[in-house]
Structure 1
Amino acid sequence: MDEKNNSGGFMEFDFRVVFHNFINAAKHLLWIVVIITILVGCYVHYTADRSYSPIYRTQAIFSVHASYSATTDILSNNNFMDKSAALTLSATFPYVISSEHASMLMVRELDHEPRGQIVATATAEAALFTMSVTAGTAKDAYETLIAAINVYPLAASSILGDTQLKVINCPTEPPTTPINTNDAMNSAISAAIPVFLLGLLAIFVLSLTRKTVHSAEDLRKLVNLKCLAYIPSVHLKKHSNTANLNVLVTNPRVPSSFNESVRNLRIKIQKQMAQHNAKILLITSTLPNEGKTTVATNLALSLASEGKQVILIDGDLRKQSLKGTLGIKASSDGLIEILAGNSKNFRLLTVPHSSLLLLSGDQTIDQPHPLLDTPRFKHVLELLRKKMDYIIIDSPPAGILSDAATTAKYADATLYIVRQDLANSTQILDSIQTLAAHNVNLIGCVLNHTQAGTTRYGYGSKYGAGYGYAYGYKYANSYTRYGYGRYGYSRYSEAENRAKKLTQEIADTSEAVEAFDFSIVDTNETT
């Protein structure tokens, strides 16, 4: 591995990758944007609603007639004098209505100060004079208008002279609707939309700055390790309570593309292990949820389907999960009891419908390092090495725990799992450099959980659609021949007998671990 590589600028710009990053980031962060948007919208709506004050307006229209006008037709072409009088009244109205005399008359008429704003306008096309009142309540607007109608002729008598006002349109009741609407909802929407768009922009910027792995080329530039296989993302829907949701090559519901990717990985692992004369393979990753347990389990099943003697060891003593992955409910002792010397029953479990052996326990421990860093663990592995073709160890994530580095020193080779677009490139680089510092033999990486169209190189980008169908029938037959589809009673009995014999041989060996009784547990009968 070239440790001189760094995470800066390792990934070239690719629209598909950016789009994938954006969608992935949106899945995790969009709810935060939505909540912030809703909170902002609710706050703006609340403040706008609290500050809203309805305004009511009512008005009366007068016709203006000058005493010297020759006609009473206000729409006549000869009513120029009436129009002039209307304009004069409109211009002088503010002074008249605000005069001390008018104010006194208004108070006398209303029994209180006027509660509204009174304005007057003249209609240019006709000798019309409009008086309007706006107020905070419909009642105040109406009462103030009626009072102004009654008071104005008296207050403006000196201005009116012989000019006569005639009310031609006067309201008979207060207005029912305000002239201004409550725009709280529109204000909330207007504030929420920019917040939501800014949130999307922030997610997009974040997706541009994410330095994660999407392809074999990214891995090569980052850590100079070969990508041995792409493992496609598989999501099994639960059609019933008894539906098998385990993503295993033994599950007929798993698509053929997944089985084919595991088969390709198995072939490359066999080649790599043969080149290094290796038997013990440790599988780790940077972070949890990268799929190392799924890869380890399916690789072990695939190797066992070839007739190889394979044992899968649950090396994550903080969270043992292999039995759950394989659907095994039998109780058993695992590495914790064996390494601590508290077990008299080394329970090698048989995996249903496979010749694969499993070493996994029920207990967990918070600090497994003292147990793993003992000669006893090495002794157990050496015993298994003599009788097994492959020993697969599923270890904890190397990026957050030192357990993987401790266990890896007993392994012949280490396979590193990288889930597409999960761990940061710096985290991956630091984790692999930590393993390299312990002289771990890293034989390659697996790009796991790949999405269609994002790997950019190789057939991994086709896994999501179509690829599996081209090879499905051919390799379905191959897996049936290897035992994934046609593992009948007689063949399973043969595998069980072989496992029991192997267990007894281990128990009878002169180098057997003291105080341990190696026995086999039939998980088909126990479950």
Structure 2
Amino acid sequence: MELRDYVRILHKSWLLILACLLTGIGLAAVYSILVAPKYVATTELYVSVRAGDTAVTGDLVQGTTFARQAVTSYVDVVDSAIVLDRVIEDLELDTSTAALSGQIVASSPVNSVLIDITVTDHDPGLAAEIANSTGRNFADIVVNDLEKPEGGGASLVKIETIQPATVPSAPSSPNVPLNLVLGALIGLAVGIGIAVLRSVLDTRIHSLHDIGQITDKPMLGGIALDPDAKKRPLIVHADPRNPRTESFRSLRTNLQFVNLDGGPRSFVIASAGPGEGKSTTTANLAISLAETGAKVALIDGDLRLPKIADYMGIEGGVGLTDVLIGRAELVDVLQKWSRNHLYVLPAGRIPPNPSELLGSAAMARVLETLTSQFDYVLIDSPPLLLVTDAAVVSKLTSGAILVAASGSTKKQELAGAVRALDAIGSRLLGIIVTMLPTKGPGSYGYGTYTYGMSHDLEGTFDVDATRERPRGARS
């Protein structure tokens, strides 16, 4: 993944990341409120070795060295049972030696004769008392018991308290600011992790980069999502000033620069699977092309589930199948739509062998006739991954255009459709992306690219100089 992919993920999932961030802060705040505060008190001891009045410098050095070596062993004695039993008895504590040992930490700085005794407790006063009592009893045991000469007399080891423990004024934990910062960082990390994982596991088409990983063919246009598309499928005719209508006009402009090498401009418009807006895209594109004054033939080549006749509001009982089997003449079933040069050839009755009919010599003759009489021939076909109809008929045309629905079409499905066309040597001309989000973080991807490119082309080449507004449909 590239940097822009991570930026897109963060932009798209910012609400999720923000929610995780706030959740982390909230949990940290709740923890800080619910957890019992702990207080820390520390007492510091100094260990030395007594020297006689006649001691020389060498004796003093040896005594200091002995004290440093002894301190490392004394640290382990601090929380031993022999010391803590006295502390419990001294302070009349209701606890065990093991439990008390867990509250005490003894340490000594490197190469020093100092011992720090740190006690943690929920009661600040008790923490100080335990620290001081531990220091006193430790010093007494070491001096009078452990280091007492066998022949009697005073011990050479001397342990003094140089810094008694005081009652702490503030708890050492919970550290509310630190907890909030850690909660925010953990929440942020979890949110970003979920966003990245969701993006990695999401196999749907969302960006130009997703399409670029599958095919190097250009994106011819992007069509915005319209929740009311089923109620008014012919948006170009129903609402000429709608922004979605402009996206079809942009698609029309880009299509005019396809197949510049010459030859008939006949295109099969297909999709990988159903429900990707293929039929409505084909119908609206045909209307947009006819607005410029071009002669357009719209063929419903979906002989399994035809929709064009219903969308265009025409009689579909007789159509392409009747022409292919010789029951009707092309001129008799080709219906003029509106006052522009748009003619519609409905599917007719559903045959038992659609693939054979679409790949027949009769179909080739129909297309040859139409391409000789019309500027554009658009064929709506079934999904490529379900049946072979689209692949078969695409061999008889200038090429195929694939429709992919943003946030719906899966990458492997689009790749499968591309492979299906490549397998029979059909030419893929480009991709049309439908159902683009109009709001939210994901709305920036295709729209900016498509509209920007299309408006520039329209302004440069003035392809709409002869545009004529549609005046209504005729059934």
TM-score interval, smaller chain: 0.5 to 0.7
Alpha-carbon distance change, 323 to 202 in structure 1, aligned in 2, over 3 angstroms: farther
| Aligned ranges 1:117-196 → 2 under 5 Å | none
Alpha-carbon distance change, 370 to 12 in structure 1, aligned in 2, over 3 angstroms: same
Instruction: Pick the aligned partner of 1:339 from 304, 309, 324.
Output: 324
Instruction: Measure the CA separation in 1 of the matches of 2:15 and 2:337.
Output: 38
Alpha-carbon distance change, 479 to 327 in structure 1, aligned in 2, over 3 angstroms: farther
Cα drift, residue 484 of structure 1: 2.4
Aligned to 2:168: none
Q: Is the 8 A contact 1:351 1:357 kept in 2?
A: yes
Q: Is the 8 A contact 1:292 1:417 kept in 2?
A: yes
Instruction: Measure the CA separation in 2 of the matches of 1:21 and 1:418.
Output: 27
Report the 3-state secondary structure (helix = DSSP H, G, I; strand = E; otherwise coil) of the residue aligned with 1:12.
helix
Aligned to 2:390: 404
| Aligned ranges 1:327-406 → 2 under 5 Å | 327-328=313-314, 330-343=315-328, 346-406=332-392
Cα drift, residue 272 of structure 1: 1.0
Aligned to 1:484: 469
Q: Is the 8 A contact 1:233 1:448 kept in 2?
A: yes
* 1:275-305 deviation per Cα after TM superposition (whole angstroms, max 9, x unaligned): 3534111111111111111111111111111
Report the 3-state secondary structure (helix = DSSP H, G, I; strand = E; otherwise coil) of the residue aligned with 1:301.
helix
TM-score (normalizing by structure 2): 0.54
1:430 aligns with 2:419: no
Alpha-carbon distance change, 300 to 203 in structure 1, aligned in 2, over 3 angstroms: same
Aligned to 2:236: 249
Instruction: Pick the aligned partner of 1:444 from 415, 422, 430.
Output: 430
Aligned to 1:283: 269
Q: Is the 8 A contact 1:399 1:428 kept in 2?
A: no
Any gaps of 5 or more consecutive residues in structure 2? 17-192
* 1:298-317 deviation per Cα after TM superposition (whole angstroms, max 9, x unaligned): 11111111111110000000
Report the 3-state secondary structure (helix = DSSP H, G, I; strand = E; otherwise coil) of the residue aligned with 2:257.
helix
Cα drift, residue 225 of structure 1: 1.8
Alpha-carbon distance change, 455 to 446 in structure 1, aligned in 2, over 3 angstroms: farther
Instruction: Pick the aligned partner of 1:300 from 286, 304, 307.
Output: 286
Alpha-carbon distance change, 377 to 462 in structure 1, aligned in 2, over 3 angstroms: closer
Aligned to 1:215: 207
Instruction: Pick the aligned partner of 1:233 from 207, 222, 225.
Output: 225
Alpha-carbon distance change, 11 to 297 in structure 1, aligned in 2, over 3 angstroms: farther
Alpha-carbon distance change, 344 to 445 in structure 1, aligned in 2, over 3 angstroms: closer
Any gaps of 5 or more consecutive residues in structure 1? 1-7, 23-200, 239-243, 489-522
Instruction: Measure the CA separation in 2 of the matches of 1:257 and 1:315.
Output: 29
Q: Is the 8 A contact 2:299 2:347 kept in 1?
A: no
Instruction: Measure the CA separation in 1 of the matches of 2:312 and 2:226.
Output: 16
Q: RMSD in angstroms over aligned alpha carbons?
A: 3.7
AA aligned to 1:483 is: E
Instruction: Measure the CA separation in 1 of the matches of 2:450 and 2:415.
Output: 27
Aligned to 2:5: 12
Instruction: Measure the CA separation in 2 of the matches of 1:347 and 1:256.
Output: 32
Aligned to 1:454: 442
Q: Is the 8 A contact 1:405 1:438 kept in 2?
A: yes
* 1:22-74 deviation per Cα after TM superposition (whole angstroms, max 9, x unaligned): 9xxxxxxxxxxxxxxxxxxxxxxxxxxxxxxxxxxxxxxxxxxxxxxxxxxxx
Q: Is the 8 A contact 2:277 2:434 kept in 1?
A: yes
Cα drift, residue 234 of structure 1: 1.6
Alpha-carbon distance change, 278 to 203 in structure 1, aligned in 2, over 3 angstroms: same
Q: Is the 8 A contact 2:317 2:349 kept in 1?
A: no
Alpha-carbon distance change, 273 to 404 in structure 1, aligned in 2, over 3 angstroms: same
AA aligned to 2:223 is: I
Q: Is the 8 A contact 1:284 1:396 kept in 2?
A: yes
Q: Is the 8 A contact 2:401 2:429 kept in 1?
A: yes
TM-score (normalizing by structure 1): 0.49
Percent identity, aligned pairs only, is 24
Alpha-carbon distance change, 371 to 249 in structure 1, aligned in 2, over 3 angstroms: same
Q: Is the 8 A contact 2:13 2:195 kept in 1?
A: no
Q: Is the 8 A contact 1:420 1:447 kept in 2?
A: yes
Instruction: Measure the CA separation in 2 of the matches of 1:231 and 1:15.
Output: 22
Cα drift, residue 334 of structure 1: 1.6
Report the 3-state secondary structure (helix = DSSP H, G, I; strand = E; otherwise coil) of the residue aligned with 1:376.
helix
Instruction: Measure the CA separation in 2 of the matches of 1:427 and 1:338.
Output: 33
Alpha-carbon distance change, 20 to 213 in structure 1, aligned in 2, over 3 angstroms: farther
Aligned to 2:31: none
Instruction: Measure the CA separation in 2 of the matches of 1:9 and 1:432.
Output: 24
